[in-house]
Amino acid sequence: MALLRGVFIVAAKRTPLGAFGGLLKDFSATDLSEFAARAALSAGKVSPETVDSVVVGNVIQTSSDAIYLARHVGLRVGVPTESPALTVNRLCGSGFQAVVSGCHEICVKDAEIVLCGGTESMSQAPFCVRNIRFGTKFGSEPQLEDTLWASLKDQHVQLLMGITAENLASQNKISREDCDRYALQTQQRWKAANDAGYFNNEMAPIEVKTKKGKQTVQVDEHPRPQTTLEQLAKLPPVFKKEGTVTAGNASGVCDGAGAIILASEDAVKKHNLSPLARVVGYFVSGCDPTIMGIGPVPAIKGALKKAGLSLKDMDLVEVNEAFASQYLAVQKGLDLDPSKTNVNGGAIALGHPLGASGLRITTHLVHELSAAAAAAYFGPFCSVSRRTASETKYVRTEPHAGPLSGVGVESTPWDRRASEAARASRSSSRTQPDREEPATATLAARGPATVTR
């Protein structure tokens, strides 16, 4: 839907993404969400006492307090006791759903400022034994279940997520070589962006204790930028003989969290907040669960139609890389421009902490837009079992004579001249699409560009 009330993102932060069993393994999903929330509140100069509601996305309830995770995060960071909280689960789109739910609360005037988050500790996913609470039959053996592995299977159609990606590869004639080449590209793009400091402004460093003492984690742990095409080609298919999906061209199991602060226009003026972006609209669509990763195609089309825009109007597009074959199927289905899609790498490099990835994408693109003066972006997401959440966000960093001093934001149709100038600014600060070499300009060193009429 297109939002009828102004909803602004005034802060966006995320933790580094930790590898499975890596440096962040001892932090619960609640802990990780708290880190991100504190960083966002501080960055946006938002007092916790002004937060009217908390919404956090989480998929696998991996800790004993996760049953009401959002409430615990809010109380930990100082949100008033009377402010309600909501934990949402739209599987891989849970982080996006937290933003959508926050927008709902502001649009119906249930809240003026909402703390939105997404978090996941996949390293802490427990093993469990089902159906033994009231005893077992004589001679039966209780089965130990890996809840992490179980979460990666659609129990309705009895398919692992990797098989749905193989189905897309078969339908779209995507080869193993295509997948490996794309996986290499996303690793190289992440390295170029990281070397250029493109993630600095969004990152909330975490201090961890190791055998060698305390260590500050401020870089994503999962990427393997030294990977070569030859190494990728040697990896065996995981889900299907002669298949396309390998450990090297699929997203990684990870830990991490993100948080953004949403505010109404009234709250922005009242508390003197600085908007980074405006949420224009969103769209949620279902798709065939046997090819669940194609979901971004109908979701993006629906969001564009609602907003009165086209993909040609987008300066940046992000599609979650659950699997290389899944991404390539979406790219083909939408005829996406590779030069402005996942330009700084995606989940194959960074990892995919289920409930956090929507916030990771949102946080990164908010900062990327501000620094590169881009005019609009999409952050579409594929979700397990028939659902896809897709958000459209739009920001224009130009002087504005309206009620929000210093930042002009409007919905559709946007000013074409602003869009063209934004693209020119972005083009001058980027390398070629393959991004094999580090980009010359750094986001950390650049402020928002000014677009004049």
Residue 92 annotated among the catalytic residues of the structure: yes
What Cα–Cα distance (Å) separates residue 418 from each residue in 312, 384, 398, 415?
14, 37, 9, 5
Q: Rounded distance, CA 394 to CA 410, Å?
A: 8
Q: Which residue is associated with the tokens 């802060």?
A: 11
Task: Give DSSP secondary structure letters for 400-426.
Answer: --SSSTT-B---SSPPHHHHHHHHHHH
CB 421 within 8 A of CB 373: yes
Residue 64 neighbours by CB under 8 Å, 6+ apart: none
Q: Residue 446 is encoded by which pair of tokens? A: 């650049």
3 state SS of 131: coil
User: 92, 103, 179, 287: which is the annotated catalytic residue?
Assistant: 92
* Rounded Cα distance, 213 and 222, in Å: 21
- Annotated catalytic residue 107: no
Candidate list 116, 179, 254, 382, residue with the active-site label: 382
Say which residue the tokens 């109908």 belong to. Answer: 298
Residue 224 tokens read as: 């393997």
**Alpha-carbon separation of residue 251 from 36, 207, 263, 321, 428 (angstroms):** 22, 25, 32, 6, 30
Catalytic residue positions, numbered: 92, 382
